[in-house]
Structure 1
Amino acid sequence: MKILVPDVPFDLDFPALLPDAGASFAPGGPDVVATYAMNDPIPEEHTDAEVLVTWSSPPKIVADAARRLPRLRWVQTLSAGPDVALGAGFGPDVVISSGQSLHDDTVTEHALALVLASVRRLDTSLAAQREHRWAKEIAFAQADPVTGREYTLDDARVTIWGFGSIALRLAPLLTALGAQVTGVASRAGERSGYPVVDAAGLDALLGETDLLISLLPAVPATQHILDDRLLRLLPPSARFVNVGRGATVDEAALVEALRSGRLAGAALDVMETEPLPADSPLWDAPNLILTPHVAGGRPRRAARFLADQLTTWRAAGDLRNVAPR
């Protein structure tokens, strides 16, 4: 069996972690592990691969692999979301699994950083710094009983849309800062002590939300799901943070909400088109913080995860994070 792995700037020495390191790690070996340049098409000599590991390859490169690797049986992406692989055109018999959990810690950290930067108005302070101006208006607004509560997470009503493994790490940190956290997921109920509503309860929840955090994946059902109608349900003092996928947001509607003052602020790590075009209205939207899709950084403990996945594959067991097709 031939396994293709990208030439990434982090450790992917997974064969050394397998119980039978140095031997065939799948029935019918011997096995071959070959590397490929993740920004280039798969070399012709490797189009006989049966397993493809991807990380941060452009969509056109993954789509090229879908066309040119006829023997492929399994695609393992190290990204938290499998959207690029799912949209590449792999045959229905090809298993696609994601790297969910490999980015939980870093995405959680970045989400919290964006939340605090927006709530504490660091963008305003940084803009004033560049102007050599002392932004005293921030202090006045915090001291005002009417607006003061908008500058703190203490007693803030936070909604996390997409209540999976990252949300379960982020929610306790927000709770520690005094926030009241509610999740939104496909099924209502309770997860790790947090109330969770489903789609039927979303509209009412947004009307009582001070801070909306999106961790949604990019799938057909979530395309532009945060649209003008839902943005209008949020209070004018609310803020929005997106560390999920950019395609889940109607960016034109978001810009209009910020320009009109119907939304107090937002912070985005992900955009629908990346890199963000120079003429995008997002660059100049008021009260908006942008970071260049850096929340995940790189997959953590990827070699161990991949070794476990390959061991499971060899034993014909149930792989983790298999994406519905």
Structure 2
Amino acid sequence: MKILVPDVPFDLDFPSRLPDGGASFGPGGTDTVVAYAMNEPVPQEHTDADVLVTWASPPKIVADAASRLTGVRWVQTLSAGPDVALQAGFGPDVVISSGQSLHDDTVAEHALALILATVRRIDVSLAAQREHRWAKEIALAQADPATDQEYTLDGARVTIWGFGSIALRLAPLLTALGAEVTGIASREGERAGYPVVGADRLEEQLARTDLLVSLLPALPSTHHILDARRLSLLPPSARFVNVGRGATVDEAALEEALRSGRIAGAALDVTETEPLPSGSPLWDVPNLIITPHVAGGRPRRAAAFLADQLTRWRAGGTPLNVVGR
């Protein structure tokens, strides 16, 4: 079995973590691990690979692999979201699994940073700092009784849209700061003590949301799911944070909502086109914070994860995080 892994700047020495200590890998074994340049097409001599591991490769590179690696049986992406692999064109018999759990801590941390930055108006302070100006307007706004709930998470009604493993890491952090957390997912119920409403109650939930956090993946069913109509359901004092995927948001509608004051603010780590073009109007939208898709960082504990996944695969089992197609 030939396994292609990206030449990434982090530890992927997973063979030594396998039950046999990696004895089946290498010249004397039956399995071979080959590193490939993740920003370049897979070399022709390795198009006979059985397994492809991807991480941050451009979509066109993954699509090229899908067309040329005709014998590949399993694609393991180290990204939390498998959208690039799903859209690449691999055959329906190819198993695709995501890197869910590898980014839970860093995405939760970045989400919390963006949440606090927009709630505490750090963007306004930074803009004033560049102007060498003391931003008294923030203190004056906080002193207004009408804005009592707008500058704090204590008592805030936070809705997390896409209540998976990252949400389960983020929700307790918000709870510790006094927020009331509710999830939205495909199925309603209770997860780790948090109420989760289904899609049939989405609009009702948006109407009672002070802070909306999106962790949604990019799928045909989620394309521009946050549109002008749903944005209009949020209270005018509401804020929106997206650390999921940019394609889930109608950016023109979000721009209009922010410029018109229909919502109070937003923070985006992801945009529909990345990198965000220099001419995009989003750069100059008021009350909007933008970070360059850095919430996930590099996958953490990737070697141990891959070792476990390969152990399952070699034993004829099903890997974790297999994506429905």
Q: Would the TM-score normalized by the shorter structure come out above 0.5?
A: yes
**Residue 309 in 1 paired to residue 293 in 2?**
no
What is the number of residues matched between the two proteins?
Answer: 324
Partner residue of 1:51? 51
Identity %: 81
**Residue 280 in 1 paired to residue 260 in 2?**
no
Asked whether the equivalents of residues 161 and 213 of structure 1 are also in contact (C-alpha less than 8 Å), the reply is: yes
Stretch moving more, 9-18 or 136-145: 136-145
3-state DSSP class of the match of 1:169?
Answer: helix
Q: Which runs of 4+ in 1 moved over 4 A?
A: none
Separation of aligned partners in 2, 1:125 and 1:118: 11
Deviation at 1:301, TM superposition (A): 0.1
Instruction: Give the aligned residue type for 1:168.
Output: L
Deviation at 1:30, TM superposition (A): 1.2
Partner residue of 1:252? 252
Partner residue of 1:262? 262
Deviation at 1:63, TM superposition (A): 0.1
Cα deviations across residues 3-56 of structure 1 (Å, max 9, x unaligned)?
000000000000010111242269xx5111000000000000100000000000
Partner residue of 1:292? 292
| Alignment root-mean-square deviation, CA | 1.2
Partner residue of 2:158? 158
Deviation at 1:316, TM superposition (A): 1.0
Deviation at 1:141, TM superposition (A): 1.1
**Residue 100 in 1 paired to residue 133 in 2?**
no
Separation of aligned partners in 1, 2:22 and 2:175: 47
Partner residue of 1:109? 109
* TM-score calculated relative to the size of structure 1: 0.98
Asked whether the equivalents of residues 141 and 148 of structure 1 are also in contact (C-alpha less than 8 Å), the reply is: no
Separation of aligned partners in 2, 1:194 and 1:18: 36
Distance 1:22 1:164, change over 3 A: closer
Instruction: Give the aligned residue type for 1:156.
Output: A
Deviation at 1:118, TM superposition (A): 0.2
**Residue 5 in 1 paired to residue 18 in 2?**
no
3-state DSSP class of the match of 1:149?
Answer: coil
Cα deviations across residues 81-129 of structure 1 (Å, max 9, x unaligned)?
1000000000011000000000000000000000000000000000001
1:202-213 equivalence runs, <5 A = 202-213=202-213
3-state DSSP class of the match of 1:151?
Answer: coil
1:167-186 equivalence runs, <5 A = 167-186=167-186
Partner residue of 2:82? 82
Deviation at 1:148, TM superposition (A): 2.6
Asked whether the equivalents of residues 142 and 149 of structure 1 are also in contact (C-alpha less than 8 Å), the reply is: no
3-state DSSP class of the match of 1:4?
Answer: strand
Asked whether the equivalents of residues 18 and 25 of structure 1 are also in contact (C-alpha less than 8 Å), the reply is: no
Distance 1:2 1:114, change over 3 A: same
Cα deviations across residues 131-187 of structure 1 (Å, max 9, x unaligned)?
111111111111111013100000000000000000001001101100000000000
Separation of aligned partners in 1, 2:313 and 2:22: 17
Separation of aligned partners in 1, 2:13 and 2:311: 14
Instruction: Give the aligned residue type for 2:64.
Output: D
Cα deviations across residues 260-290 of structure 1 (Å, max 9, x unaligned)?
0001000000000000001111101110000
Unmatched runs of 5 consecutive residues or more in structure 1: none
3-state DSSP class of the match of 1:34?
Answer: strand
Unmatched runs of 5 consecutive residues or more in structure 2: none
3-state DSSP class of the match of 2:149?
Answer: helix
Partner residue of 2:60? 60
Separation of aligned partners in 2, 1:16 and 1:190: 39
Separation of aligned partners in 2, 1:204 and 1:125: 34
Separation of aligned partners in 1, 2:161 and 2:130: 35
1:193-204 equivalence runs, <5 A = 193-204=193-204
Separation of aligned partners in 1, 2:323 and 2:280: 32
Separation of aligned partners in 1, 2:20 and 2:172: 40
* TM-score calculated relative to the size of structure 2: 0.98
Separation of aligned partners in 1, 2:70 and 2:291: 38
